[in-house]
């Protein structure tokens, strides 16, 4: 058998090189897309704390008995989970975010904050307009990250 004619015949070389190049391009493209997706996933992961809060509704303290009245309140207690810096926590009732007075420093299991319905319009720490204490209003404990760009609702309840 003569090898010289076989070595000069390069008809099959071009398709083989094409397949190898396509395979290399596919692997490179998959690696780039994978790296981008993993990078984005890392940015989407939240560093928000994991905590559980309990809501205790204290209604009709001195009122009429047919709904929320002046001085009715809600006690919000951190019952379990991560310790959270109080500067990162907010309580929202309806469209109102009161200044908090009970949570200072680090908030850990057992710490409580009371928000009180206030009819006269002097909304000092922990006071919320009585109008926000409406049936169906959402009460939320919200954490905001140090950069101010991340936030997470840690707990919520709906007023009845």
**Taking residues 85-97, what's their average pLDDT?**
88
The kind and range of the H/E element at 112 are strand 112-118
Same domain for 62 and 83: yes
pLDDT digits (tens, 9 = 90+) for 28-46: 999 888 888 777 655 555 5
**Statement to judge: residues 37 and 88 lie in one domain:** no
Q: Is the pLDDT of residue 2 over 90?
A: no
- Together in a domain, 100 and 55: yes
The structural domain count of the chain equals: 2
Max CA distance (Å), the chain:
111
Residue 100's CATH number:
2.60.40
CA separation for the pair 75, 68 (Å, rounded):
14
Q: What is the pLDDT of residues 50-82, one digit of tens each?
A: 999 999 988 765 555 567 778 888 899 999 999
Band of residue 4 on the pLDDT scale cut at 50, 70, 90: low
pLDDT of 102-115, one tens digit each? Answer: 788 899 999 999 88
Which residue range is the domain that position 65 belongs to?
A: 51-158
């Amino acid at each position: 058998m003569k090898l010289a004619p076989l070595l000069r015949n390069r008809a099959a070389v071009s398709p083989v090189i094409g397949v190898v190049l396509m395979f290399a391009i596919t692997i490179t493209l998959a690696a780039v897309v994978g790296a981008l997706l993993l990078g984005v996933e890392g940015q989407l992961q939240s560093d928000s704390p994991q905590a559980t809060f309990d809501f205790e509704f204290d209604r009709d303290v001195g009122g009429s008995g047919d709904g929320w009245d002046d001085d009715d309140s809600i006690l919000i207690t951190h019952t379990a989970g991560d310790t959270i810096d109080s500067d990162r926590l907010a309580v929202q009732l309806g469209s109102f975010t009161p200044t908090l007075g009970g949570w200072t420093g680090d908030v850990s299991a057992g710490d409580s904050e009371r928000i009180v319905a206030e009819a006269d319009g002097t909304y000092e720490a922990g006071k919320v307009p009585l109008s926000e204490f409406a049936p169906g209003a959402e009460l939320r404990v919200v954490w905001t990250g140090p950069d101010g760009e991340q936030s997470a609702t840690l707990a919520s309840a709906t007023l009845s």
